[in-house]
């Protein structure tokens, strides 16, 4: 479920403010710009072509897209 101004319900990156430990410790009121992480499925094909076996969900994305430009 997507929540406006928060991100994906239950996701580690959800929230109004930055959630990454490094930034949250130094700048706790920094706006969270990673509320929803989109990943093009084409990237997985490109990575496999150069020897990386990465599958959807393994890079932390919330949504995997196809054919967006």
The percentage of the chain sitting over the pLDDT mark of 90, rounded to a whole number, equals 41
Which residues, 6+ apart, have CB-to-CB distance to 17 below 8 Å?
24, 28, 29, 30, 31, 32
Percent helix / strand / coil, the chain, rounded to 5: 20, 15, 60
Q: Report yes or no on whether pTM surpasses 0.75.
A: no
Asked whether residue 51 carries a pLDDT value surpassing 90, the answer given is yes
At 44 the pLDDT is 92
């Amino acid at each position: 479920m997507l929540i406006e101004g928060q991100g994906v319900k239950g996701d580690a990156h959800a929230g109004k403010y930055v959630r990454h430990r490094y930034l949250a410790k130094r700048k706790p009121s920094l706006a969270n710009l990673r509320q929803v992480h989109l990943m093009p499925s084409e990237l997985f094909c490109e990575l496999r072509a150069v020897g990386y076996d990465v599958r959807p969900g393994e890079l932390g994305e919330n949504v995997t897209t196809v054919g967006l430009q």
